[in-house]
Amino acid sequence: MNATAGQHPSAQTLAMLERLVAFATVSRNSNLGLIEEVRDYLTGHGVSSRLTYDAKGGKANLFATLGEPSNPGIVLSGHTDVVPVDGQDWATDPFVTTLDGDRIFGRGTADMKGFIAVALAMTPELLARPGDTPIQLALSYDEEVGCLGVRELLRDIAVTGVKPLGCIIGEPTGMEVVIGHKGALAFECYVHGRECHSSLVPQGVNAIEYAARLIGRVREIAERLAVEEQRNFGFDIPHSTLQTGTISGGIAVNVVPRSCEFQFDIRHLPGTRWSGLFEEIQAYARDELLPAMRRIAPESRITFRQIIDIPVLEADADAPFTHYVQDIAASRGAHYVAFGTEGGLFQQAGIPALICGPGSITQAHKPNEFVLLDQLARCETFMRNLANGPA
Ligand SMILES: [Zn+2]
């Protein structure tokens, strides 16, 4: 990424970014204000939108086709939610875009309202695209909390009966073309034992100690993969990882704890069967820990609940769609990134997906998030190449 020899994006893009950032669409908030503004903007260009809502009706996805909806299109996908700013030390108001030199600061400028702003600002050009393949906008809610909203959007696309040709996820990649990311799974494990006074330890079942043994097994699997798993050097961390991220349990030092809860995640390479790793952990709980616990307390139990499921993305590096996107991005690379995206879910739905968007993931989720003007300008060039039609 070049921080000095910068081009400038259009006034339309900057104005659109300002409007989008002004909606504080932190995942816990409603995104309806933003979605309705985008819907009205598109209506003004003669484009109708399909909205799909969450169970409470407080959040929505938007899907719109710039062109003939009965033709399979190319999807530009972006999530409308942003991560919180609570407790972060911002130099400016995070929900007001602030231009400083070659940068625009604001929550979501990189992740990923910059991409959405460029796509919307260039709607007139995308509408004029020659050929039969329309551009389609897919804006989702609740990506940052586990890619939740896009699942409803994908069900709605299936209802239309027209499967898109491919999807470009505009997460920040410095406008490089990314063809893959790891899968991310997270689980909550609840260990239930029997409490008693700590002077009578053998009469109780210490839930924290059994949880610790399970956590140790998670760690052992992680260490084994770090040594034995076949490497994919496209990733910074070229193997799958597991780790425990939270734990709670016990009420006092002199009480054998009855319950303990922890959460762990698995981030696995494309091609690694994560379910086998999870089964190994479950089998250890079922076959080795539980029998010992139940000899003392028959009510003992260990339960697992999956809390995050972001499937792996692994695009075909030689597919025509990949080459097309590399052409319009003027990027011959085929990179991998560490973070998860909605791309794996599009791929699961049978829609080829790639990631390419303005900004850097290293600026995302932090205070003073920014995007370089040059990155927005490069994204405009990308959209212009897309608008010019088939290669
Ligand atoms: Zn994002």
338 pLDDT tier (thresholds 50, 70, 90): confident
Percent of the chain clearing pLDDT 70 (strictly above) = 98
For the question of residue 143 being annotated catalytic, the response is yes
Q: Closest Cα to residue 337, out of 364, 319, 318?
A: 364
DSSP string, 13-70: HHHHHHHHHHS--BTTS--HHHHHHHHHHHHHTT--EEEEE-TTSS-EEEEEEES-TT
As a whole number of angstroms, the distance between CA 338 and CA 361 comes to 10
CA of 14 to the centre of ligand 1 (A): 19
Gap from CA of 216 to ligand 1 centroid (Å)? 32
Catalytic residue flag (residue 81): yes
- Other C-beta atoms within 10 Å of 339: how many? 18
Question: What pLDDT is attached to residue 333?
Answer: 87
User: What pLDDT is attached to residue 3?
Assistant: 44
pLDDT digits (tens, 9 = 90+) for 270-316: 989 999 999 999 999 999 999 999 999 999 999 999 999 999 999 99
pLDDT in tens, 127-151: 999 999 999 999 999 999 999 999 9
Q: Annotated catalytic residue: which of 81, 152, 374, 380?
A: 81
| Residue 240, CA distances (Å) to 136, 147, 323, 364 in order | 34, 20, 28, 23
141 CA to centre of ligand 1 in angstroms: 11
Cis preceding-peptide flag for 16 (omega within 30 of 0): no
Residues with CB under 5 Å of ion ligand 1 are 111-112, 171
| pLDDT value at residue 369 | 97
pLDDT digit string (tens) for 343-362? 999 999 999 999 999 999 99
Mean pLDDT of the chain: 95
How many angstroms is it from 355 CA to the middle of ligand 1? 11
pLDDT number for residue 1 = 44
Question: How many Å lie between the centroid of ligand 1 and the Cα of residue 20?
Answer: 15
At residue 2, the pLDDT reads: 44
Pair 182, 289: CB distance under 8 Å: no
Cα–Cα nearest to 50, from 58, 62, 38, 36? 62
Q: Which of 102, 143, 314, 369 is catalytic?
A: 143
Give mean pLDDT, residues 119-124: 98
Q: How far is the CA of 333 from the centre of ligand 1 (A)?
A: 21
Q: Mention every residue, 6+ apart, whose C-beta is less than 8 A from residue 244.
A: 215, 218, 219, 262, 263, 264
- Is 341 a residue whose pLDDT tops 60? yes
Pair type for strands 103-105 and 370-372 = antiparallel
pLDDT of the residue at 6: 79
What's the gap in Å between 32 CA and the centre of ligand 1?
18
pLDDT at 390 over 90: no
> pLDDT (tens digit, 9 = 90+) per residue, 247-258?
999 999 999 999
Put simply, whether the predicted model's pTM sits higher than 0.85 gets the answer yes
Asked whether the beta carbons of 370 and 109 are under 8 A apart, the reply is: yes
CA atoms within 13 A on the CB side of 348: 15
User: Percent of the chain scored above 90 by pLDDT?
Assistant: 95
304 CA from centroid of ligand 1 (Å): 28
Confidence band of 332 (pLDDT split at 50, 70, 90): confident
Which of 205-214, 227-236, 254-263, 281-290 has the lowest average pLDDT?
A: 227-236
Closest of 316, 232, 304, 229 to residue 265, by C-alpha: 304
Using pLDDT thresholds of 50, 70 and 90, give the confidence band for residue 5: low
Cα of 40 to ligand 1 centre, how many Å?
Answer: 24
Lookup: tokens for 80: 């409308």
Confidence of residue 391 (pLDDT cuts 50, 70, 90): low
